[in-house]
Each structure stands twice: as structure tokens, then as C-alpha cells.
Chains A and B, each alone.
Chain A
Amino acid sequence: GAGVSQTPSNKVTEKGKYVELRCDPISGHTALYWYRQSLGQGPEFLIYFQGTGAADDSGLPNDRFFAVRPEGSVSTLKIQRTERGDSAVYLCASSYSGTQTGELFFGEGSRLTVL
């Protein structure tokens, strides 16, 4: 597709459940980012991939959060034992090279609600 695609667009789950959020970046973009956005706030960095490897995961809040990008394209953000505080919009973005000059191309986000 032409843009960054994220699925599902909405996910409602119960506390304690496991959740997977998928991101399909723009073809040819080697850098991929996950951000989290709470209501009324700006996006908060979670993790950055350059190719298949996680180059920087310093934003992941705790070990319940994990992300993979096994073939250097599609990425999955995995959240174990979800908590109500995990409720937010999870945004994926990609860019050409991940260098200082790169603008980020965002998807529409996956809205996660933990009941």
C-alpha cells in the first residue's frame, strides 16, 4: 500500500489478556518506530527498528512489552498481561533511513482499550 498500515484499528480486551498489534510500513523504509499516544498528549517513543534488529528499545515501559520485525518489513508489538494503564493509541511510523534528516510517516494507529 501507499502508506503505513496498522491493524487492528480498534482492540478492546480484558485486563490480563495478551494483545498483538501489527504494522506494515511503507515499502522500502528501513526504519520503523512504535509510539504510544494517550489522550491529550503527544506521541511517546517506545521502540525503533533499523532493518530486523531493535536498535533502541529504551522507551518500552516494562518487560510486558515486546516488539519484533523478523523480516525487516512488518512489525508486531506484543503486550502481555495487559493492564488498564496500557489503554492508548499505538502508532507505528516508518522512514527512509532513520537518520537525522528523516521525516516520519505515521499510520492511523491502533486504539487499545483494556477493560
Chain B
Amino acid sequence: SQKIEQNSEALNIQEGKTATLTCNYTNYSPAYLQWYRQDPGRGPVFLLLIRENEKEKRKERLKVTFDTTLKQSLFHITASQPADSATYLCALDYGSSNTGKLIFGQGTTLQVKP
């Protein structure tokens, strides 16, 4: 079965720096990969989707890369702000199914200090 690993330790960075979060998977390469943001006590909010044939995707200060050889996605937040502090979840499709259902990583908590 597919396994996803995100760094379980919190990432603490200074405001203005670039935050880089890692998502590694162990089995088949997904057709796409998504990143979500989750604030305490709230539901996840979709941020970005990247497909298996895309190397990089950008949206404002966010950048996602997808390396199917390394079985890894990197999520970057440039010019980070305290408001970026949250838990970030990586999610993959279930492979052969075409239902859109996702398997999530455990998330990495980002803390941006002013």
C-alpha cells in the first residue's frame, strides 16, 4: 500500500525566509499530488495540485516540485510571514482508482517567527 512521509517535527523559521517542506512516498507514483493547509480546529484548505508530468507549479509565494524518480515533492513558501504558520498536508491519489479520493500524510507544522 502507498505510504506517505512528511517531517513530523515542526519547522521553525524566521519571517522573510523560505520555508521548505518535504513529502516522500514509497510505492507507486501518483497521477497527481496535492498540498493543503490546515489551521488548528479547522478543516484542510486546498493550496496546489501538481500532476505527474509536471516538474514545478507556482502560485503567488508558493512553489511545488514533483520528482517521480526520487518519489518526492517539495513545497516552498518564499518570503514567509507569521500568517503562514499552520500545518501543511501532502495528499496523493490512490493510484488505479479514479475516484478522486486521497491518502494524506501526517502533516508538517510550520511556525514562522516575526
Q: How many residues of B contact A (CB 8 A)?
A: 28
Q: Which residues of B contact A (CB under 8 A)?
A: 4, 6, 8, 31-32, 34, 36, 41-46, 49, 89, 91, 93, 97-107
Q: How many residues of A contact B (CB 8 A)?
A: 30
A45/B100 in contact, CB under 8 A: no
The residue from A55, A104, A109 contacting B102, defined by CB atoms under 8 A apart = A104
A106/B100 in contact, CB under 8 A: no
Closest to B41 in A: A108
**Known: A42-B89, A100-B32, A100-B93. Contact between A31 and B100, CB under 8 A?**
yes
Is A62 positioned at the interface, with any CB of B under 8 Å from its CB?
A: no
A43/B32 in contact, CB under 8 A: no
Is A61 positioned at the interface, with any CB of B under 8 Å from its CB?
A: no
Q: Output the least CB separation between B23 and chain A (Å).
A: 11
